[in-house]
Amino acid sequence: AFPIMTGFCEGMRAGRGCEKFGYIQIDAHLDAADENYVWGTHWHGSNARLISDIRGVDKKNMAWIGINGSTWTEEWDFANSGGACLITRPEVARIGIAEAAKRALEVATDGVDAVYLSIDLDVVDVSLSPGVGSVNFGGITPSELLEAVETLADSDAILGIDVVELCPPLDPSGVTSRLAAAVLMTYLEPRLFNQGE
C-alpha cells in the first residue's frame, strides 16, 4: 500500500487540493515494522509505518481493523502511539464488525480531506480464504469483511482502495480470488449504481 498511498496523496494534492489524509487498514497484521535484516526498510511488513511518514498523514488519522495473531512489541508500540486506532480481532468479536468499521472511519476522517483504504485478505481466517501468503487462524469471516467494506463504502471520504495479499496459486478452488472481487464490487457498487439517489 505504501507506493500506492504515496501516489494517491500526490494525486489528491495536485488534482483536488487535498492536504490531510486518513488511512484505514483491514488486516491481521500491523505492517508497522521498521527495518528488516533481510529486506531492509521497504518491505511488506513496513507499509503502514512508511505511510505514517507521508506528508499530510498523521497517526491520529490511522486505523487498523482485525489485528490478530503475533505482533512485535515494537510494532504495537509504534502503531498504538500518537492516537492511532487499533481494533483487534477479539474486539471485533465483542463490538461487531460494523461498529469496528464506524470507529475506524471516525478516526480516519477526523479533520482530513481524503481517506485511503487498504484491505489485506489475510485478515480472513485461512480456512475460508486460503489464497494468501500469510496464514491467519481465527481471522474474521468473509461475511464480516464484506460487511465492513459495505459500512465503509457509505463514506464519501474514502477515495482510494486496494486489496492485497491475493495469491491465486495457493488456492486452486478460486474462492480467495472471488472474495477479492466481491470486496471490490461491494466498495464500488454504491459509486457505480447509486448515482441518482
Mapped onto helix, strand or coil, the DSSP state of residue 12 is: helix
Among 154, 145, 155, 148, smallest CA distance to 178 is for 145
What pLDDT, on the 0 to 100 scale, is given for residue 78?
84
**What whole-number distance in Å separates Cα of residue 152 and Cα of residue 22?**
13
Instruction: Give the mean pLDDT of 147-176.
Output: 96
Helices (H), the chain: 2-16, 47-51, 73-80, 89-95, 97-109, 142-153, 175-193
Grid cell digits, residue 186: 461491494
Question: 44 or 8: whose pLDDT is higher?
Answer: 8
Mapped onto helix, strand or coil, the DSSP state of residue 126 is: coil
CA distances from 174 to 23, 143, 167 (A): 29, 17, 10
Look at the pTM and tell me if it is higher than 0.85: yes
pLDDT in tens, 169-197: 999 999 999 999 999 999 999 888 876 55
pLDDT in tens, 22-80: 999 999 988 876 665 555 565 565 688 899 999 999 999 999 999 997 777 777 888 88
What pLDDT, on the 0 to 100 scale, is given for residue 45?
59
What pLDDT, on the 0 to 100 scale, is given for residue 144?
98
What pLDDT, on the 0 to 100 scale, is given for residue 42?
52
pLDDT in tens, 72-124: 777 788 888 888 999 999 999 999 999 999 999 999 999 999 999 999 999 99
What pLDDT, on the 0 to 100 scale, is given for residue 28?
93
Q: Looking at the DSSP assignment, which residues form a beta bridge with residue 23?
A: 62, 116
